[in-house]
Amino acid sequence: MAPSTEESVPVVLTPGWVASAADYASSLAALFPRGLAWPRHPDSIVGQVIGGLAHCFSRSNTDLAALLEEADPRTAIALLDDWERVLDLPDGCTGEGASTIQGRRAAILSKLLMQGGQSRAAFLKLAETLGYQISIEEFRPFRVGFSRAGDPLIGIEGAYLWRVRIYAVPVLRFQAGSSQTGDPLAAGTASDLECLFRRLKPAHTTITFLYEV
């Protein structure tokens, strides 16, 4: 039997590269025996079998590559529901932007990175994770011998009072490729920050919020 004049060169797949159906077809064709009984033309029976298998492999390769993106909540889309199920989201502290892809990702990320604690540093880190720029002010009662002229006259309740200054409220805008149909064109709020801070603050303290425009 004469050898086939049709040559197929196998494709070497490298990590991170998504192979096309044509790439898989070329590699599969190279695995078949050579000869007139094994034509590689796309319209032949063998060619159609190769084409069908190539499309299946290519689709699996594409899905696998997408799974790497889904494993990171910062880029996930298809698995957002699973991330939220595992983390019990949305909860009572999800903000206005939680209905958007970006807002859902931010809520997932903040819960994953939350280390706990009730220190100033812990609250500053939580605000940073949610995308807020804040400062925290703590007060102390006015006391003779410790306070100075010009200090605010704060009673004993001031020992349990602290204030959060929010300098900028992030605006989640509609983005092609990240947002989906039905998402608002823009959403900006700090309700999620306020809710989380009130939930996590020491029980004996009072917290207030001040927005800097």
| pLDDT band with cut points at 50, 70 and 90 for residue 207 | very high
Q: H/E element holding 32?
A: none
Q: What is the mean pLDDT of the segment spanning 170-179?
A: 57
Is the entire prediction scored with pTM above 0.85?
A: no
Q: What is the mean pLDDT of the segment spanning 29-44?
A: 84
| pLDDT band with cut points at 50, 70 and 90 for residue 201 | very high
pLDDT of residue 135: 94
| pLDDT band with cut points at 50, 70 and 90 for residue 110 | confident
Q: What is the mean pLDDT of the segment spanning 172-181?
A: 57
- Asked if pLDDT for residue 189 goes beyond 70, the answer is no
Contact 199, 93 (CB under 8 A): yes
Number of Cβ atoms within 10 Å of the Cβ of 119: 9
pLDDT of residue 6: 45
Number of Cβ atoms within 10 Å of the Cβ of 190: 22
Number of Cβ atoms within 10 Å of the Cβ of 125: 16
Residue with the larger pLDDT of the pair 188 and 77:
77
- Asked if pLDDT for residue 63 goes beyond 60, the answer is yes
d(CA 84, CA 73): 10
Helices and strands of the chain, counted as H and E runs: 6, 5
Residue with the larger pLDDT of the pair 12 and 74:
74
Residue with the larger pLDDT of the pair 203 and 145:
203
pLDDT of residue 82: 93
Contact 194, 151 (CB under 8 A): no
182: left (phi over 0), alpha (psi -120 to 50) or beta: left
Burial of 81 (0-12, 13-18, 19+ CB in 10 A): exposed
The Cα-based distances of 178 to 88, 102, 104, 118, 175 in angstroms read 22, 7, 11, 34, 5
